[in-house]
């Protein structure tokens, strides 16, 4: 049985129905890949508490309207990651990056133009089935 890690991630959406994607900076695992921001859930920590903490640490913003979206398990050769995704909006704060070197707001139609982290590609399939196109 592979070791398992629980990870929460935010699908942050702006008023134009664009998604926030963050690019991992050099020196970090998956440097240069774009991902949904988030991180590991600490032992005994609730998922939403972990999400708020991770987004505060990584982006320097607070979230609002946090709602469960979907979950799945992604298998690497040496471990499994149990992902839990939440939809949210930025409440307060100005984005300041720590684990990433860039962020972009992207329309769903543009998202495949980016080098997406392997584990986050599956999330895109879930999102493309549930998101309404812009009017």
Instruction: Write the pLDDT tens digit of every residue in 41-90.
Output: 999 999 999 999 999 999 999 999 999 999 999 998 898 999 999 999 99
**Residue 128 pLDDT level (bands cut at 50, 70, 90):** confident
Domain ranges of the chain: 4-130
Backbone phi, then psi, for 130, in 5-degree steps?
A: -110, -20
Supply the CATH classification number for the domain 4-130.
Answer: 3.90.79.10
Token pair in block for residue 83: 């992902």
Quote the strand ranges of 4-130, DSSP E. Answer: 4-12, 19-24, 34-35, 38-40, 62-75, 80-92, 100-106
What pairing do the DSSP bridges indicate for beta strands 4-12 and 80-92? parallel
């Amino acid at each position: 049985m592979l070791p398992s890690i629980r990870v929460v991630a935010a699908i942050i959406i702006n008023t134009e129905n664009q998604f926030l994607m963050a690019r991992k900076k050099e020196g970090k695992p998956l440097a240069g890949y774009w991902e949904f921001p988030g991180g590991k859930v600490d032992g005994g920590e609730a998922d939403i508490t972990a999400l708020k903490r991770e987004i505060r640490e990584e982006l320097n913003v607070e979230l609002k309207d946090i709602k469960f979206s979907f979950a799945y398990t992604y298998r690497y050769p040496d471990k499994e990651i149990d992902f839990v995704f939440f939809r949210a909006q930025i409440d307060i704060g100005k984005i300041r990056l720590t684990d990433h070197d860039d962020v972009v707001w992207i329309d769903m139609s543009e998202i495949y133009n980016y080098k997406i982290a392997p584990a986050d590609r599956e999330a895109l399939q879930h999102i493309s089935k549930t998101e309404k196109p812009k009017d």
